[in-house]
Amino acid sequence: MAFKVIKPGLLALLQDLGRHGHQSIGLTTGGPMDEIAFRWGNALLDNDSNSAQIEITFGMLTLEAQAATSIAITGADLDATLNDKSLTPWQTYAIKKGDVLAFHQPVWGLRAYLAVKGGFLCEPTLGSVATVVREKIGGLTGKGDKLQKGDVLAYQTCHEHQQRSVPRLAIPHYGNKEIPVILGYQYQSFSALDRANFFSSDYVVSSHSDRMGYRLEGKAIHSELNGIISEGIAYGAIQIPKDGQPIVLLQDRQTIGGYPKIGCVTRVGGGILAQQKPGDRIQFTPITVDQAERERHLQMARLAQWR
Amino acid sequence: MSHDNFPNLAMVSNQACLLTFSQVISEATSNYIVQVTQHLSTLAGIVDLVPSYTTLLVVFNDDDYDRFAIFKAINQAIDAIDPNDFSLKDQREVVIPVYYGKEVGPDIEDVAKHCKLSVDEVIKHHHETTYRAYAIGFTPGFAFLGNTPEELHVPRKTTPRLKVPIGSVALAENQTAVYPSVTPGGWQIIGRTPVNLIDWGSENLALIAIGDSVRFEPISRDEFLVLGGQLDGF
């Protein structure tokens, strides 16, 4: 059966772990902005880790259930209610036919994930349901549409419910504003003073931030490279354009570009960054590839052991 | 190309590394990149490969590789390729029909003026050159084709258009390209093709792949319309 969209909210998108293998023709990956929250959503319901969920940005989304199932909510606290009763994120809830599930406004964080038992049923485009609005690909229609009033999000009816929640220690600290950065191969092209400024200044999230990239405002820094030959852009790459204001490239990033990059934000750090709203302040903190590998393995091991 | 420091391999993150093959753009470098890309695409645990002019970004699954394992795998792949054999096996030639002129190419007269050529000479120089697809990006299927003959070198427009129609054939500096979808764009538009550059339903998805050889073929307004070309879009 299905959830029917009563109110579509600001931006609600079907996502899985992304559309990989097509960057060589310029197609971006899409996928969840907060990957750890997404993975926990599926783990809570014993779903395949790639099962489709809804990424809800900001809130204002109301859904009506047409059949029983189990759901999990992870990521931001968007003041979710089930039949007007408050829900706490990072756990599962039983859903009955006729239930009304609503996400109001952020209490903390920006993006919540709604997972359903077995995942939302949706025909993939190029192997993935990930919605990329800009490229008009993925999602319910296959044409990159965000959720709209009247949309029907199908799932397999399920009457068995297991009450589960994510261990407290495994929940990311969205209040932690330190974003880890792996120093890039162009790091040496920034002066010692600029590097010091980059890691010791506060940066404010600009209102021109979206799924493509987070623009930051603060101390301007400059590379000694005067532009580079366009090259592939990894997830999390921190571009420094001519105005010196960093742009962190995230899930819907363009695939190639020619600005110098001071470093790269990790998946975990990118997830925390993606939970910040315009006006929020962050700091960058340097880590090594070795530390990033260990951080990632710890996260993945926690998930695997819990499953 | 035989420089000791190339190809240079550097970690970008715990899930990606970048191979740099040269500091300068050349067909030889581009051929080498295409070969390494093809070779690496057969390896398990490689998630994405993003070839460009002088580099190849390798995105890998961090369950399969740590930084030592990925370096080893990439170095083995490079060792298996003869860097002196730059000839591309089975290089494809893509021919793109173009209706040139100001009806669909609003910048063609400005280009002619800037280059001190007639409109016919602009068309002749553009279609008599064979180009190479050096990089694909900006938007899906957008192929950066080089090099245009020196006679056609023009700067980008000072103010980009907010909307460039699908199929627009354009020039900027020493490059030419076709816009595969409606996007903003600052290149100088000289004509339009009726063929789709990107088709999500086709096997190759994109008409032009990196390493392809590309030619433009002038067609008349009637031929353009018969082939399904649209005249509006601005």
Mutate to test the interface with A, among B13, B53, B198 (most CBs of A within 10 A): B13
**Is some CB atom of chain A closer than 8 A to the CB atom of B182?**
no
Min Cα separation A262/chain B (Å): 10
Q: What is the pLDDT of residue A251?
A: 98
For residues B67-73, give the mean pLDDT: 95
Q: Max alpha carbon distance in chain B (Å)? A: 59
Q: What is the pLDDT of residue B75?
A: 94
- Give the residue from A129, A146, A170 where a domain finishes: A170
Shared domain for A86 and A40, answered yes or no, is yes
Residues of A in contact with B137 (CB under 8 A): 26, 230, 254-257
Shared domain for A36 and A146, answered yes or no, is yes
Q: What angle do CA B139, B143, B146 make, to 5 degrees?
A: 145
Residues of A in contact with B16 (CB under 8 A): 234-235, 264
For residues B36-63, give the mean pLDDT: 95
Residues of B in contact with A133 (CB under 8 A): none
**Is some CB atom of chain B closer than 8 A to the CB atom of A125?**
yes
Min Cα separation B23/chain A (Å): 8
CATH number of the B8-80 domain: 3.30.1360.40
**Is some CB atom of chain B closer than 8 A to the CB atom of A256?**
yes
Q: What is the pLDDT of residue A40?
A: 98
Q: What is the pLDDT of residue A184?
A: 84
- Give the residue from A116, A144, A170 where a domain finishes: A170
Total of domains in chain A: 2
Structure tokens belonging to residue A291 = 């530390």
Shared domain for A164 and A186, answered yes or no, is no
Q: Which residue of A has its CA nearest to B204?
A: A25
Q: CA B171 → CA A112, A156, B215, distances in Å?
A: 44, 52, 14
Residues of A in contact with B135 (CB under 8 A): 230, 256
Residues of A in contact with B206 (CB under 8 A): 25-26
Shared domain for A125 and A247, answered yes or no, is no
Out of A184, A229, A296, the one facing B12 most closely (by C-beta) is A184
Structure tokens belonging to residue A228 = 């580079």
CB A66 within 8 A of CB A3: yes
Query: Is it the case that residue A227 has pLDDT exceeding 90?
Result: no
pLDDT digits (tens, 9 = 90+) for B198-234: 998 888 899 999 999 999 999 999 999 999 999 988 7
Shared domain for A164 and A145, answered yes or no, is yes
Which of 196-215 (B) contact A at CB < 8 A?
198, 200, 205-206, 209-210
Shared domain for A285 and A186, answered yes or no, is yes
Query: What are the extents of the domains in chain B?
Result: 8-80, 93-227
For residues A32-48, give the mean pLDDT: 97
Shared domain for A41 and A118, answered yes or no, is yes
- Give the residue from A170, A188, A214 where a domain finishes: A170
The rounded percent of chain B whose pLDDT value lies above 70 is: 95
Out of B13, B51, B53, the one facing A264 most closely (by C-beta) is B13
Hey, are the CB atoms on B13 and A289 less than 8 Å from each other? yes
Mutate to test the interface with B, among A36, A128, A179, A229 (most CBs of B within 10 A): A229
Hey, are the CB atoms on A266 and B13 less than 8 Å from each other? yes
Hey, are the CB atoms on B141 and A23 less than 8 Å from each other? no
Return the DSSP state at B109: H
Shared domain for A205 and A137, answered yes or no, is no
Residues of A in contact with B49 (CB under 8 A): 23-24
Hey, are the CB atoms on A232 and B56 less than 8 Å from each other? yes
**Is some CB atom of chain B closer than 8 A to the CB atom of A254?**
yes
Q: What angle do CA A296, A299, A301 make, to 5 degrees?
A: 105
Shared domain for A219 and A256, answered yes or no, is yes
Task: Return the H-helix or E-strand segment holding B79.
Answer: helix B67-79
CA distance B224 to A254: 31
Average of per-residue pLDDT values in chain A: 96
**Is some CB atom of chain A closer than 8 A to the CB atom of B141?**
yes
Would you place residue A176 in the very low, low, confident or very high pLDDT band (cuts 50, 70, 90)? Answer: confident
For residues A117-138, give the mean pLDDT: 96
CB A36 within 8 A of CB A271: yes
Domain span including residue A40: 2-170
Shared domain for A145 and A186, answered yes or no, is no
pLDDT digits (tens, 9 = 90+) for A145-168: 999 999 999 999 999 999 999 999
Q: Which residue of A has its CA nearest to B137?
A: A26
Higher pLDDT, B89 or B61: B61
Min Cα separation A303/chain B (Å): 13
Residues of A in contact with B205 (CB under 8 A): 22, 25, 27, 126
Shared domain for A151 and A17, answered yes or no, is yes
CA distance A1 to A120: 10
CA distance B192 to B103: 9
Hey, are the CB atoms on A229 and B55 less than 8 Å from each other? yes
CB B145 within 8 A of CB B209: no
Quickly name the fold that domain B93-227 has.
Answer: Cyclophilin (2.40.100)
Whether this model's ipTM surpasses 0.90 comes out as yes
3-class secondary structure per residue, chain A? CEEEEEEECCEEEEECCCCCCCHHHCCCCCCCCCHHHHHHHHHHCCCCCCCCEEEEECCCEEEEECCCEEEEEEEEECCEEECCEECCCCEEEEECCCCEEEECCCCEEEEEEEEECCCCECCCECCECCCECCCCEECCCCECCCCCCCCEEECCCCCCCCCCECCHHHCCCCCCCEEEEEECCCHHHECHHHHHHHHHCCEEECCCCCCCEEEEECCCCCECCCCCCCEECCCCEEECCCCCCCEEECCCCCCEECCCEEEEECHHHHHHHCCCCCCCEEEEEEECHHHHHHHHHHHHHHHHHHC
CA distance A182 to A265: 6
Q: Which residue of B has its CA nearest to A142?
A: B200
**Is some CB atom of chain B closer than 8 A to the CB atom of A226?**
no
Q: What is the pLDDT of residue B2?
A: 45
Q: Is A164 exposed, middle or buried (0-12, 13-18, 19+ CB in 10 A)?
A: middle
Hey, are the CB atoms on B62 and A182 less than 8 Å from each other? no
Hey, are the CB atoms on B57 and A292 less than 8 Å from each other? no
Query: Is it the case that residue B3 has pLDDT exceeding 60?
Result: no
